[in-house]
């Protein structure tokens, strides 16, 4: 076991930015849980082994149980004398196999994984027909034909800066800001796999999965493009908006602009998936 180089934190501790990937099917989401079964809990347990004290990590946002990540970002403060390469190796050494620390680098004390995020990209995977046991945990099998042209037409209605209150599971007060800039919403097919790519300055709770659920309903002929426009304008969540299951969703990338803060990224409701 690696030991701490300092027993107690100090205000002069260096800050480290990390990018990680994880299989969300093995965890109770990103955020720390009483059960200790989250991704954050697993990483903090490894840091506690390394430094001999509690080291808190701060993620770019939360993901729900079952949601995966290819590019989640977090930071923490700690003294480490041996450089980022050895810090990366130490972090990787005894983490659960469902978590991979991809990169580690030193950043300025002003960097914050959440508050400086200027946008995020998610990908959702649909599988046409039944999927094999190696695909099923990472996609949503859909057994009805999907009209991709209609789905892309609906996606065009949703792109842009809108109030997405109708597409979130948020139960907060009406005064909470639910306006987001959905920069990208594309539907692409390759063989039996359909990928829905969503990119925005920030996402509301279960927003991506709600967008996917509506696009699938359009593809199946249950909703029209006109219906989607009306749902968006209503600013009210109803049972018409289904939430896609979590296992098809991947946090792909978090974007940063040095020295800038995103207003959306600082709001309490920007909890992602």
* Contact predicate 166/231, CB 8 Å: yes
Helix (H, G, I), strand (E, B) or coil at 150: helix
For residue 209, give both structure tokens. Answer: 């999965």
Question: How many other CB atoms are there within 10 angstroms of residue 246's CB atom?
Answer: 20
Name the active-site residue from 64, 201, 270, 272: 64
**Phi, psi angle pair for 160, to nearest 5°:** 110, -175
> Please, which residues have CB within 8 angstroms of residue 20's CB and are 6 or more apart in sequence?
39, 43, 69, 72, 73, 74, 99, 100, 101, 102
Q: 64 catalytic, yes or no?
A: yes
Q: Distance between CA atoms of 268 and 273, rounded to whole angstroms?
A: 13
**Residues with Cβ within 8 Å of residue 181, at least 6 apart in sequence:** 160, 161, 200, 201, 264
Task: Name the packing angle between helices 148-158 and 207-219 (round to 10°).
Answer: 140
| Tokens read off for 38 | 């989250």
User: Catalytic residue positions?
Assistant: 64
């Amino acid at each position: 076991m690696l030991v701490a180089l300092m027993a107690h934190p100090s205000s002069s501790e260096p800050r480290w930015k990390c990018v990680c990937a994880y299989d969300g099917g093995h965890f109770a989401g990103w955020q720390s849980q009483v059960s200790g079964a989250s991704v954050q809990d697993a990483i903090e347990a490894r840091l506690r082994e390394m430094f001999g004290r509690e080291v808190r990590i701060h993620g770019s946002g939360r993901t729900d149980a079952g949601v995966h990540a290819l590019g989640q970002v977090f930071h923490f403060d700690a003294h480490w004398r041996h450089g980022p390469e050895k810090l990366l190796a130490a972090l990787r050494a005894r983490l659960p196999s469902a978590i991979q620390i991809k990169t580690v680098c030193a950043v300025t004390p002003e960097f914050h994984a959440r508050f400086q995020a200027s946008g995020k990209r998610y990908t959702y995977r649909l599988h046409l027909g039944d999927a094999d046991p190696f695909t099923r945990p990472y996609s949503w099998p859909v057994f009805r034909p999907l009209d991709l042209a209609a789905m892309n037409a609906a996606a065009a209605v949703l792109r842009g800066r809108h109030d997405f209150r109708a597409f979130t599971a948020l139960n907060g007060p009406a005064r909470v800001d639910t306006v987001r800039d959905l920069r990208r919403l594309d539907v692409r097919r390759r063989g039996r796999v359909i990928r829905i790519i969503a990119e925005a300055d920030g996402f509301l709770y279960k927003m991506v999965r709600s967008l996917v659920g509506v696009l699938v309903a359009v593809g199946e002929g249950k909703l029209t493009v006109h219906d989607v426009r009306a749902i968006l304008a209503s600013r009210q969540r109803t049972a018409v908006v289904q939430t896609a299951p979590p296992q098809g969703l991947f946090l792909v990338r978090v974007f940063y602009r040095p020295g800038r803060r995103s207003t959306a990224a600082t709001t309490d409701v920007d909890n992602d998936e």
